Amino acid sequence: MNIKSLLLGSAAALAAVSGAQAADAIVAAEPEPMEYVRVCDAFGTGYFYIPGTETCLKIGGFIRVQGSFGRDAADSRWENPAQSTSDWDVFSRAYLSFDAKSDTEYGALTGFFAAEFNADNDSDEGDSLIDVDEAYIQLGGLKAGFFYSWWDKGLNGETDSLGNNTEFNSIAYLYDGGTFQAGIAVDELEAATTKANGVGIEGIVSATLGGVSFDLLGGFDTELEEGAIRALLSADVGPGTFQAAAIWASDPNAYWAASEWTVAASYRFNATEKFAITPGVQYFGSLQDGNDFGDDDAWRVGVTADYKITEGLATRLSVQYQDEDNGDDEVFGFLRLQRDF
C-alpha cells in the first residue's frame, strides 16, 4: 500500500465518522414564547392582566407621615384614644391595597383587600400595629365582607364629624341607575352596641343632576332600638364645591351617638390646580350624656389646606377650633405629607 492510498483511505474514514456524528447531533428546542404583562383598561387606569388569566389586578396605596397637635385625645369625646399623653404626636402609616376585577355574566366580580401598617414610637396600645382596612367580595351591586359603610362619607375638609361607627362586616346591595341610586345593608355591630354581635340596618337613596348630588341615609340599631337619619348635599358653586349635612338621632346608637342633632357645612375653594383651601363649620345640639342626650351644645370651626407638590406627592394642613358647653375650648389639627401610588 502506497502513501497515496493510505491518505485517501484516512480521509474517507474521517468523512464517514463526521457524517455519523452530524446525524446524531442534539438540536436545542426553541424557547417558549414569553407572556408579557398586558395592560387592562376595562376597569380604568392602573390595572393589568394577571398572566394566564382574564382577571385584572390593580395595586395601590400610600405612605403617610403626620404630626398631630391638640389636647390629649383621651380628654376629648371627639378624638380616638390617645397616641400619647402629650399635646403633639408624630406617626407614620403605610397603606397597601389589591383590587382584582373580572367580567362575568352577572356583572363585574371584585375582590378587594387593603391593610394599614402603622408605626409610632411610644408604647400605648394600638400605636404600632397592622390593621385590615377592608376585605370584601363584590358581584355587580351585591357586596359582602368588611368595608366602610355609607356613614363614612363626609364633607370636604377635616372639620365635620358625620358618623359614629363607619366600618362593619356587612352584606349590602346597591342599585345604580346612573343619576339615581338606592341601597340597603345589614351590618354586624360588633363592639358598637349592647351585644357582642348586634345587628344594624342601613338604607340609602341618592340622586345626581348636573353638578348637584343629594344623599338621604338612615340607620337602625336593632339592639338599642334607636336610629339616625342623615341628609347630605353637594353642589359645584363657582371655583369650588359647597357641601352641607344634617343628622337627627332618636337616642345614642351605633351609627350616631355624639348629639341628638347636628348641622355641618364646608366649601372647597380650588385656588389653583395644585392648591385648595376648605373652611368648614359644624354645630352639635344636645350632646350625648351617658345613654341619653343632654342639654349641652358644642360648635366647631376650622380650615383645611391642600397642596399638590408634584405628581403623587401632596401635603395637608388642618386647624380646628371647638367650644363645648361646660367644657374647655380646644385647638387641634395636623400636618400631613403623603406619597400616593
Looking at per-residue confidence, does 84 or 285 come out higher? 285
pLDDT average, residue stretch 3-15: 50
pLDDT of residue 55: 96
Roughly how many angstroms between the first and final C-alpha of the chain, as a whole number? 86
User: Taking residues 273-285, what's their average pLDDT?
Assistant: 98
pLDDT digits (tens, 9 = 90+) for 128-171: 688 999 999 999 999 999 999 999 999 999 999 999 999 999 99
Question: Of all helices (H) and strands (E), which one includes residue 9?
Answer: helix 3-23
166 or 3: which leads in pLDDT: 166
Which pairs from 240-244 meet CB under 8 Å and 24+ separation?
240/267, 240/268, 240/269, 240/270, 240/276, 241/156, 241/267, 241/268, 242/266, 242/267, 243/155, 243/156, 243/267, 243/268, 244/155
Return the pLDDT at 120: 81
pLDDT, mean of residues 85-109: 91
Q: Judging by beta carbons within 10 Å of its beta carbon (0-12, 13-18, 19+), is residue 293 exposed, middle or buried?
A: buried
Check residue 114 and report its DSSP letter: E
Walk me through the domains of the chain, giving residue ranges and CATH numbers: 35-138 (no CATH), 141-310 (2.40.160.10)
Cβ atoms < 10 Å from Cβ of 223? 16
Angle at 174 between CA 134 and CA 198, to 5 degrees: 60
Where does the pLDDT of residue 193 fall: very low under 50, low under 70, confident under 90, or very high at 90 and above? confident
- pLDDT mean over 49-71: 94
Q: Which residues contact 240 (CB under 8 A, 6 or more apart)?
A: 267, 268, 269, 270, 276
CA distance 328 to 70: 12
Cell numbers given for 12:
474517507
Q: Is it the case that residue 56 has pLDDT exceeding 90?
A: yes
Lowest mean pLDDT among 66-70, 136-140, 271-275: 66-70
Rounded CA gap, 182 and 93, in Å?
A: 34
For the chain, the average pLDDT equals 88
Q: Is pLDDT of 48 > 50?
A: yes
Whole-number pLDDT of residue 7:
44
User: What's the whole-number mean pLDDT along residues 56-74?
Assistant: 87
For the chain, give the percent of residues with pLDDT over 90.
74
pLDDT for the residue 207: 98
Dist CA 281 CA 159 (whole Å)? 6
235 pLDDT higher than 80: yes
Long-range contacts of range 116-124, CB-CB < 8 Å, 24 or more positions apart?
117/93, 118/91, 118/92, 118/93, 119/91, 119/92, 119/93, 119/94, 120/83, 120/84, 120/89, 120/90, 120/91, 120/92, 122/83, 122/84, 122/89, 124/81, 124/82, 124/83, 124/84
Q: Per-residue pLDDT tens for 255-270?
A: 999 999 999 999 999 9
Residue pair 118/127 in contact (Cβ under 8 Å)? The answer is yes
Average confidence (pLDDT) over 17-41: 63
Lowest mean pLDDT among 46-55, 71-80, 220-229, 299-308: 71-80
pLDDT of residue 30: 61
pLDDT tier for residue 216 given thresholds of 50, 70 and 90: very high
Of the ranges 87-91, 317-321, 328-332, which is most confident? 317-321
Answer whether residue 208 shows pLDDT above 60: yes
Nine-digit cell string for 316: 395637608
* Closest C-alpha to 324, from 291, 286, 296, 282: 296
